[in-house]
Amino acid sequence: MSTAAYGAGKAGGTFDPLTFVKKPQVVLKLVCFLFGVIVYWCISSGSWYPEGESKKEVCLFNKDASACMYGSTIGFFGLLGAAAFVAGEYFFEQMSSAKSRKHFVIGDMGFSGLWALLYFISFCYLANQWSDTSEKDVPESASTGDAYSAILFSFFSIFTWVSGDEYQQPPAY
């Protein structure tokens, strides 16, 4: 029988920051955090432009505000979730109850799976709206690099969120 409950050592051990940062779960959640920041930043700061004389802000993705709102929302809550699970990994070693550890692992796996799906939807939605955007709808003053980056990092985020599940040890019943 294993002495580690759900992939952790004994509770109350000393904390080593270097060992903590080298854990695959932590590295992947930090990458998820970084990708969430990139997606959120690219859409919220670079995918809106003023249109016409009214200077009304319009989304670069086929003038579909829903595409910008969905992408930035997924990016924002993804980065919050990744930060929360990095903090959870820190507290995981102090959890003395195997039941608490089990709930954390199941929650992490469920959230990671859900967020991979939501990023897949985001990637498909943003890519579809971008492909429907005509060149005449994009003003010369607007940069398209942020739109490309948001689509690209939405795609990368799918794999980082799915990979996070690979390093969790599911509870044995």
Task: Write out pLDDT tens, residues 80-112.
Answer: 999 999 999 888 878 878 888 888 889 999 999
Predicted local confidence at residue 95, as pLDDT: 81
Q: Quick one: average pLDDT of 5-30?
A: 76
More confident residue, 25 or 137: 25
Q: Residue 161: how many CA atoms within 13 Å on its side-chain side?
A: 29
Q: Which of 59, 63, 57 is nearest to 43 (CA)?
A: 59
* pLDDT greater than 70 at residue 172: no
User: Cβ contacts of residue 71 below 8 Å, gap of 6+?
Assistant: 39, 43, 47, 61, 122, 125, 126, 150, 154
Q: Residue 11: how many CA atoms within 13 Å on its side-chain side?
A: 11
Q: Which amino acid is at 125?
A: Y
Domains assigned to the chain: 17-163 (1.20.140)
* pLDDT greater than 50 at residue 1: no
Structure-token pair, residue 94: 């102090």
Rounded CA separation 99/11 (Å): 13
* pLDDT greater than 50 at residue 72: yes
Structure-token pair, residue 49: 């432009």
